[in-house]
Amino acid sequence: MRLPSLVLAAVLLFGTVLAPAAGAAEADCPFQHKPAKAIDASEDLKPGNPAPTPLPVPNPPVGGAQMGTCGIAKPAGASNPPKDVTVSSWLVADMDTGAVLAAHNPHARLRPASLIKTLLALVVVRELDMGKKVVGTQQDADQEGTRVGLGPGGKYTVGLLLKVLLMRSGNDAAHALAMQLGGVDQAVAKMNATAKELGALDTRAATPSGLDAPGMCTSAYDLALIFRAAMKDPRIAEAVATKHVQFPGYADKPGFQVNNDNKLLGVYPGFLGGKTGFTDDARHTYLGGASRGGHRVEVVLMHGEQHPVRMADQGAHLFDYGFGLLGKPPVGQLVEEQVTPAQPNQPGGAQGSGVRATTSPGSASSSSMASVVLPVLIAVVLVAVVGLLLWRRRKPSLVSPSLVTTSPATAVPPPDESEQTRPIG
């Protein structure tokens, strides 16, 4: 075999192994870059403000090659998902291992509605003291959409506002908490920084509450990442599982009871809590977690309708489907947020939880690719080395042996082991 041919074959084989086509998102996936155009004026730009640039689409897809599909990803031989799950995008995952059990168009970029409050909650527990006193304002009370009942002069704790934020989806509570984080713009910036740390690269918060605004987007995959991270904090886990709580009044208005609006709480066996959402553009959204037989499963549903089957019931059917897939090969992986201990002289968050960093966006799929590429690359190099030695041995000399004189001091030594195993190129 000639050396040039051998090298060319090795390069072609190596290039084929590393080709990203199998991991790329399908070109015709709906909402791959951004959500559909708004149907109302909620995302109209203010004069002089440019339209937000769509977020880059990672390639390979975060979480593995099958996460790039716009169809259904499920284990080979597994039953089909419930037919009455009619949302545009959904995902079912093992909350403990992060294994994605099944999904449909998981990286579709859609509007989250109030599901984004789970991201706000994550920032709140990491940065604010739960016992801090907050005084309500008229601006809190004037927020659009769902409100719990904050009022000017009302006195609340951050911990109580966190509960009603998640239990009743209060936009007034979201605004009050955002102001404690430095204001709406600062809160949104912190939410987006946290999303990036988690590896949620489809996510861009534009409001703390989930009300539609220019550039707002996320995905079922990202919300599964966010909810999984949030549920690791016992304060959030307690909040979403709370059925009702007493809420103080203000001025001459008496206090009242706030009830959790999640229809599966206390109804679906093992339900751990979750979040509901709705806007005209996002349509209905839903996420939640449930436990059965020592395993926890989470579901995310986006851009759905309450008819013919309620969103909560669609979620329940996905829970059943997900629990039935445990033990089968996963179709993807929720990337992990890495936590390193804080340095003694380094200021930490409110809880001193350390400095957070995330593995690279494609780490889950890249690591699996590396496990395939490395053995093949080693084999290619070994073949190339053997071919090189044979080629040198068989190549006829171009110089007469009688004209070549060497001595032990000037003889060229054979290549050492490191040179023989050096990768080509």
Question: Which backbone phi and psi does 10 adopt, to 5 degrees?
Answer: -65, -45
Maximal C-alpha separation, the chain = 114
Per-residue pLDDT at 156 exceeds 90? yes
* Pair 306, 86: CB distance under 8 Å: no
Residues in the chain: 425
Distance between CA atoms of residues 85 and 315, nearest Å: 8
pLDDT of res. 21? 33
* Pair 71, 27: CB distance under 8 Å: no
Domains and CATH numbers, the chain: 31-335 (3.40.710.10)
Distance between CA atoms of residues 391 and 348, nearest Å: 62
- Any idea which of 23-37, 85-99, 358-372, 386-400 has the lowest mean pLDDT? 358-372
Q: How far is CA 137 from the centre of its chain?
A: 34
Q: How many Cα atoms are found within 13 Å in the side-chain-facing hemisphere of 212? A: 20
pLDDT in tens, 287-322: 999 999 999 999 999 999 999 999 999 999 999 999
Q: How far is CA 312 from the centre of its chain?
A: 22
Q: Is 275 annotated as a binding residue?
A: yes
Confidence of residue 344 (pLDDT cuts 50, 70, 90): very low
Q: How many Cα atoms are found within 13 Å in the side-chain-facing hemisphere of 76? A: 0
Per-residue pLDDT at 355 exceeds 70? no
Q: How many other β-carbons are positioned within 10 Å of the β-carbon of residue 5?
A: 10
Predicted model pTM: 0.76
Give the mean pLDDT of 197-219. 97
> CA geometry: angle at 355 spanning 349 and 357, to 5°?
135
pLDDT in tens, 97-148: 999 999 999 999 999 999 999 999 999 999 999 999 999 999 999 999 999 9
For residue 339 the two structure tokens come to 């936590």
Q: Which residues are catalytic?
A: 114, 117, 169
Q: Which comes out higher in pLDDT, residue 42 or 412? A: 42
